[in-house]
Amino acid sequence: MLRLIPSAVACAAYFFIRRRLTGEDTLVRIYRKVENPIAFSSDPKERALSLLHLHAMYAGLAFFPARLSCDWSFACVPMVSR
């Protein structure tokens, strides 16, 4: 556990510096809604559920890549509202 502390500190510093250089929410503004509809959702519950679903799908594809695709276009992964 003690060996992980320098890596964790370096990652936190990187993200902090990156956030300071790019400004508040700059990375979200450069995306269009068709590229990242989750970022434009007004409901925090819908955003959280959609992100959880998306990461679970990524984990499933990492272990069972039968449905792996090189192009996940707009609306291939639906938003989760409940």
* Number of other residues whose CB lies within 10 A of the CB of residue 53: 15
Return the HEC string of 40-76: HCCCHHHHHHHHHHHHHHHHHHHHCHHHCCCCCCCCC
Residue 28 has pLDDT above 70, yes or no: no
* Number of other residues whose CB lies within 10 A of the CB of residue 31: 13
pLDDT of residue 25: 57
* For the chain, percent of residues with pLDDT exceeding 70: 88
Q: Is 9 or 15 the better-scoring residue by pLDDT?
A: 9
Q: Is 30 or 35 the better-scoring residue by pLDDT?
A: 35
* For the chain, percent of residues with pLDDT exceeding 90: 29
Alpha carbon of 44 to those of 35, 64, 69: distances in Å?
Answer: 19, 30, 28
Tell me the pLDDT tens digit for each residue of 34-61.
777 887 888 889 989 999 998 999 899 9
